[in-house]
Amino acid sequence: MNAEQILFILFGAVSLIGAVSVISFRHPIYSALSLVVTFFAQAGLFILLGAHFVAAVQVIVYAGAIMVLFLFVIMLLNLGTLSAKGAIGPKVKGFAVILGILLAIEGIYIALNSANDTTVAAAESATGTTTTYDIGKLLFSEYLLPFEVTSLILLAALIGVIVLVKRESQEEN
């Protein structure tokens, strides 16, 4: 067992535990924090996969921005006491869990069976890291269009959020 495997198991386990915690903690704040843990572990996995840039962005965007936003809203709405109410019945829960387990088994099955696949079996030939430089270059040449579209998406989000939460001047008066 080499270092990479150890680290994979470590990060993988952490991310799984985090993920399970997300859905099992009662309190949204704890869920959110568990999600942060998962994201961190995933950033670790990305580094293992040689995707340093993605790992950094993962932390900056997910942990640094998205989850803070979540925390912010949870705190703003002070959801602590409210969330306990109206939990769903055990039947639905059981169903969901069974469904989930089935999905998971299927996923594992698919993943294991894909080993025969030539594209997948090409495995481990490629290692090494992708530099930010490479990604930057790709973004502005091959992936120019998606990049521009992403900017539009952000514009849409910007406009949308302003529409949804900005206090109107009439209301103030």
Partner 1 sequence: MENLPLFFILSSIVKIVIIVHLLLIGVMLMIWAERRVSGWMQDRLGPNRVGPQGLLQPIADGLKFMFKEDIIPDHVDKPLYVLAPAMLLVPALITAAVVPFGSSIELFGETINLQIADINIGILYILAITSLGVYGVVLGAWASNNKYSLLGGLRSSAQMISYELTLGLGIIGILMLTSSLSLRTIATEQGAYPWQWNFLIHFPAFLAFTTAMFAETNRLPFDLAEAEQELVAGYHTEYSSMKFAMFFMAEYMNMIVGSAVTVTLFLGGWHFFGLENVGGPVWSGLISFAIFFVKTAIFLFGFIWVRWTLPRFRYDQLMNFGWKFLLPIALTSIVVTGTLWIMTGSRLVVGIGNAVSAFIVVSIVAGMLVMTTPKPAIQESDSRFSPTALDAVE
Partner 2 sequence: MLLEYYLILSALLFTIGVIGVLVRRNAIIIFMCIELMLNAANLAFVAISRNLGETTGQVFVFFVMAVAAAEVAIGLAIIVSVFKHRQTINVDEINSLKG
Partner 3 sequence: MPIEEINWQLLMPELVIALTLLIVLVFDLFDSISKKVLGWMTIVGAAIALWVSIQMHLDGTVGIQFNQMFKVDNFSLFFNMIFLISTILVVLLSMSYLDRGDKKQGPYYLLILLATLGMMLMAAGNELIIVFLGLELMSLSLYVLAGYFRENPASSEAGMKYLLLGAFASAFFLYGIALIYGGAGTTSIPAIAEKITAESSSPLLLAGMFLLIVGFGFKVAIVPFHQWAPDVYEGAPTTIAAFISAGPKAAGFAAFLRIFMEALPNLQGEWSGVLILLAMLTMTVGNVIAIAQTNIKRMLAYSSIAHAGYVLIGLAAANNDGISSAMLYLLVYCVMNIGAFGAVILAKTEDGESLMISDYAGLGTRKPLLAMFMSVMLLSLAGFPPTAGFVGKFYIFKAAVGAGHIWLVIIGALNTAISAFYYLRVVVTMYMREPEEELEFSPYASTLVIGLIIAAVGVLLIGILPSLMLTPAQNSVF
Residue ranges binding partner 1 (CB under 8 A): 2-4, 29, 33, 36, 52-53, 56-57, 59-60, 63-65, 68-69, 71-72, 75-76, 78, 129, 131-133
Residue 69 interacts with partner 3 (CB under 8 A)?
Answer: no
CB of 22 to partner 3, least distance (A): 14
Q: Which two tokens stand for residue 27?
A: 């309190």
CB of 40 to partner 2, least distance (A): 11
User: Looking at 2-10, 61-69, 85-93, 157-165, which segment touches partner 3 (CB under 8 A)?
Assistant: 157-165
Task: Give the separation between CA 169 and CA 21, rounded to whole angstroms.
Answer: 42
- Residues 32, 74 contacting (CB under 8 angstroms): yes
CB of 115 to partner 1, least distance (A): 25
Kindly tell me the sign of the dihedral angle through the C-alpha atoms of 75, 66, 149, 158: positive
Terminal alpha carbon distance of the chain: 69
Task: Give the separation between CA 62 and CA 100, rounded to whole angstroms.
Answer: 25
- Contacts to partner 2 from residues 55-114, by CB under 8 A: 57-58, 61-62, 65-66, 69-70, 73-74, 76-77, 79, 82-83, 85-88, 92-93, 95-97, 99-101, 103-104, 106-108, 110-112, 114
- Residues 25, 2 contacting (CB under 8 angstroms): no
Q: Which does 168 bind (CB under 5 to 8 A by kind): partner 2, partner 3, partner 1, none?
A: partner 3
- Cα separations in angstroms, 124 against 35, 49, 128: 30, 11, 10
